[in-house]
Homo-oligomer: A and B are copies of this chain.
Amino acid sequence: MDMEARGHSEHPEALRLWLRMLTLTQLIEKQVRTQLREQFGTTLPRFDLMAQLERKPDGLKMNELSRRMMVTGGNVTGITDQLVAEGLVERIEVEGDRRAYRVCLTTRGRSLFADMARQHEGWIVAAFEGLSPAEVEALHQLLGKVKQHYHLDTSLETPLESA
């Protein structure tokens, strides 16, 4: 990005912060994508969808997945189709509303996700190894503050992290 070069700015600090955050996130995300592809032959969106379904034995409806994953419905259909073809999730009818489905992990999907999640956590822990526990907490808090204000400001929801 190297956009710190623009000069005569009134708020260069926020810009510098954003560029560092964006760069770092892209760096970690790129590594996660590579590992998911090489070790499990999958992608980040597919992993994310499965992560959304974990601890939801009743599954989630398509529109809930769409909201949580911050992508449009058509894309969720495509990702779900792929996972169904691999036997990792299934569509189950919703009683009382014949338009809707609940998407659930299959037994095989749940088992595979457990493996992936364990590996994934290792990659993330390694990425943040340079911070002490107190620093991890401080960073978490600061980002929470940004997120909170950002939401108020833009009326965007926070589908993720909604555990």
Contacts and interface: CB of A to CB of B under 8 A. Distances in A.
Interface of A is mostly: helix
Nearest to A1: B160
A43 B102 CA distance: 35
Interface in A55-85: 55, 68, 70
Question: Which bucket holds chain A's interface residue count?
Answer: 35 or more
Contacts of A16: 140, 161
Interface string A1-42: 111111101010111111111111111111100000000000
A15 B128 CA distance: 9
A3 B162 CA distance: 9
B130 A3 contact: no
